[in-house]
Amino acid sequence: MLFNYLIDEGLPSDISFWNNPKFTHAVQLDNITYDTDIWQYARNNDLIIITSDTDFYYRAVASSISPKVVWIRADIIKIKKLNKFIERAWPKVERHLLSRSFIKLKRKK
């Protein structure tokens, strides 16, 4: 699918699944330091925000014009487990993004 993503700085940048041109981590961009910057950059560049931050959930609910958001709820886990979780779930996430603007991705314990 032809989605491109902006990963919030609250998520690790060393997830191997994200080592792909479709994914840009916020730490790679100049002058993108606050949630508002990430939100505007994603809107202006047609990117889907990937975050673990609840602020983006509330912003998406309150906004009439919003970028798509994938909200990852995975508690504190090791990078390797997080990567595996994301890799397994991503095909379903992308299918849902075709018809939804907000996806909550929750890891089962």
Bridge partners (DSSP) listed for residue 65: none
Pairing label, strands 48-51, 102-106: unpaired
CA-to-CA distance for 10 and 40, rounded, in angstroms? Answer: 17
End-to-end CA gap in the chain: 29
pLDDT, tens digit (0-9, with 9 covering 90-100), for 8-30: 988 988 899 999 999 999 999 98
Q: Identity (one letter) of the amino acid at 82?
A: L
106 — pLDDT class (breaks 50, 70, 90): confident
